[in-house]
Amino acid sequence: MDVAVSMTSLPVRQRGVACCQELVTGDQGWAQETAEILKALAEPTRLNMVAALWAADAPVCVCDFTAALELSQPTISHHMGKLRAAGLVESTKQGVWVYYRLRDDLPAATVQLLETLVEPATQAALTTSVLRSDTTGPVVIDQRAT
């Protein structure tokens, strides 16, 4: 069975003119900023670090991350640099140590994204690692066996 298709029955598309419905697109600034955040969170170590910061009620020392994640201080600092460049974390230096926390002024959409991504992981992680704030200073990460 031969089927003949007539090219004249197909709609002719003009370049630069939408053939269907109008698309709503965001501005490039928003897209670039969101892509940088997602790129920073796409690495498992950084996502774990953000989850720990999300659960912490005080800044976390780089030394606590090195112990909990079994990574070197330069590696932790590298990952934190990526998170800082994406606008997710800020740091303060106390003596020889640097303490990190999530920025207080994160946009609502970023907070919602982080909540969706890290809240389930944070709840699961609290069964093996407890983030606590003692009265003398920043957060200490204790490893606990389940």
Question: Is pTM, for the whole model, over 0.75?
Answer: no
Predicted confidence at residue 131, as pLDDT, reads 46
Class of CATH domain 33-143: mainly alpha
What does the DSSP assignment read for 121-137? HHHHHTTTEEEEE-TTS
pLDDT at residue 4 in the model: 61
**Amino acid, res. 17:** V
pLDDT, position 15 = 73
CA distances from 40 to 2, 11, 27, 113, 134 (A): 55, 43, 21, 13, 30
**Quick one: pLDDT at residue 91?**
96
The DSSP annotation for the chain comes to ------GGGSPPPPTTS-SSSPPP---HHHHHHHHHHHHHHTSHHHHHHHHHHHH-SS-EEHHHHHHHHT--HHHHHHHHHHHHHTTSEEEEEETTEEEEEE-TT--HHHHHHHHHHHHHHHHHHTTTEEEEE-TTSSEEEEE---
Q: From first to last of its 146 residues, what are the pLDDT tens digits of the chain?
A: 566 655 556 666 677 666 677 777 767 788 888 899 999 999 999 999 999 999 998 999 999 999 999 999 999 999 999 999 999 999 999 999 999 999 999 999 999 999 998 888 767 655 545 444 443 444 444 444 33
Token couple for 29 = 């600034």
Instruction: Locate the domains of the chain by residue range.
Output: 33-143
